Amino acid sequence: MSEVTTIARPYAKAAFDFAVEQKAVDSWLEMLVFAAEVSKDSTLQQVIHSSIAPNQLAQLFIQICGEQLNEYGHNLIKVMAENGRLSVLPDVLVEFTALKAELDKEVEALITSAAALSDAEKVKIQKSLETRYQRKVRLTCQLDPSLMAGLVIKIGDDIIDASVRSKLNRLAEALQS
């Protein structure tokens, strides 16, 4: 686990718990998306890493974000600025998004295939994965011709490798032993 994730997780968890309590998860997600993008700006990155006072940094950040943040969003920015953590806002967003996906019972599936999948194939794969994982599955597809044929599905730490390349590799290993 990276140090940045360790730093970002408590902020994301606190914001998420508050958002759930207030029934405002979607609005919090929008605020965090915007704030994370603002924090990535190169000029603002220089200011964040400068010796500016935390309260001045928070006020500057809040002014830049304008109406995109509500009073609770302002409080999060103030606390993060006080603790010198504004640079981890993109990671807070990643953690918050993961918590929201867990709440919504969603998972992301990365499908790597040798050839482009038809819409019918995508639907069939999606339904099969939803049955297996008992969650809504969002598909992201990419191509890798080196697979030769078949596909590789990655969901979290699970990998389903149904590619010809991996089958040939297993066959080669079996023949060598």
161/164 Cα distance (integer angstroms) = 9
Say yes or no: 50 and 82 in one domain. yes
Q: What is the pLDDT of residue 27?
A: 93
For residue 96, the model assigns a pLDDT of 93
User: Alpha-carbon distance 153 to 172, whole Å?
Assistant: 22
User: Which residues of the chain fall below pLDDT 50?
Assistant: 1
Residue 139's CATH number: 3.40.30
Q: Are residues 81 and 117 in the same domain?
A: no
pLDDT number for residue 149:
86
pLDDT at position 127 is: 92
Do residues 95 and 150 both lie within one domain? no
| Last residue of one domain, picked from the residues 68, 83, 102 | 102
Number of structural domains the chain divides into? 2
Range of the domain at 170: 105-176
> What distances in angstroms separate CA 115 from CA 123, 137, 146, one per listed residue?
16, 21, 10
| pLDDT (0 to 100) of residue 77 | 92
- Same domain for 116 and 88: no
Query: Residue 48: which of 75, 137, 56 has the closest Cα?
Result: 56
- CA count, 13 A, side-chain hemisphere, 94: 10
* pLDDT per position as a tens digit, 86-135: 889 999 999 999 899 888 888 888 999 988 999 999 999 999 998 988 88
Contact present, 41 and 86 (Cβ < 8 Å): no
Identify the domain boundary among 53, 83, 102: 102
CATH number, domain at 97? 1.10.520.20
